[in-house]
Structure 1
Amino acid sequence: MAKFKVGIERPLCISCESCVNICPEFWEMADDGFSYLKGSKKSGENEEREIDDVECNIDAAESCPALCIHVYENGKKIV
């Protein structure tokens, strides 16, 4: 089981591309104009992905003006 989980509340995304600019290995803009977490799975209206190393996702979450990106470590929200 992965140590970290990254998620995005897509309905809150304002398409600013901050996450894409900071962490392009994990984030891209989808065809609908909103941020997409590469390799993620849908969970309702949101997307989630388990990862072993948080890498730049904490910076992406902290830079998000809509506060719609979340990072969890062992099930506990850290951002």
Structure 2
Amino acid sequence: MDEEQLKAEEKELEALRAAGQRERELLLEMEIRKREIEEEIAKERERIEELHRMEREKRLKFSQRKIGQGRSAV
């Protein structure tokens, strides 16, 4: 969700509060929180992907070092 849309929804939320429309207010609060959670999940997935990439690189370097040691021993 982009910042502009989030601000628009928050502005609508404040207007609904002022108008006393509690049901719509709660629905909008839940939608905003849902999007915040989705953003947190996306960030966490990116972090996990980066950790996996680093682990693969580490293993590749280790295996290349092992292969290099094997050749020098021959």
TM-score of the pair, normalised by structure 1:
0.24
Q: Which has the higher contact order (CA 8 A, sep 6+)?
A: 1
Q: Larger % of strand: which? A: 1
The structure that is helix-richer by fraction is 2
